[in-house]
Amino acid sequence: MRILMLEDNDSRITMIEERCNARGWEFTYTKKVEEFAELIHVSSYDVVLLDHDLGYEKTGIDAVGCMCAEQGNRARVYVHSANCVRAPEMVRCLRENFFKAHQIDFLSLWTGMKDLEWTP
């Protein structure tokens, strides 16, 4: 299983990385949309985890735009942002572009990783 995470919070990154490593899943993360765009351009992932508010001018909406522009990989996407306005917009845009996208709060994502069906 290949997981890509866009997140700016180091604690959240560490929490998900530890869970992925314990399951033998390949985990990649970035804090910047520009690097995210490059990663999805050169590799495919089974699951993408997206935050919206990244602490600088680019946001998760920009990352969604990058994903929608790519014609290949259609990973399952979990939007774990607490932004109650932008997170649903991200999910809607992804679904309109044929992604299996879901909004989930971070705590549920972290505690429920063992229960989530993370297959594309």
Domain ranges, ordered by start, for the chain: 2-111
Give the per-residue pLDDT at 83.
82
Q: Residue 23 corresponds to which amino acid?
A: R
Give the class (CATH, top level) of 2-111.
alpha beta
Residue 15 predicted with pLDDT over 80: yes
Return d(Cα 53, Cα 43) in angstroms, integer: 24
Cβ neighbors of 68 (< 8 A, separation 6 or more) are 93, 94, 97, 99
Q: Which two tokens stand for residue 110?
A: 């972290």
Q: Which two tokens stand for residue 10?
A: 């180091």
Q: What is the mean pLDDT of residues 65-72?
A: 85
Q: What is the mean pLDDT of residues 30-38?
A: 96
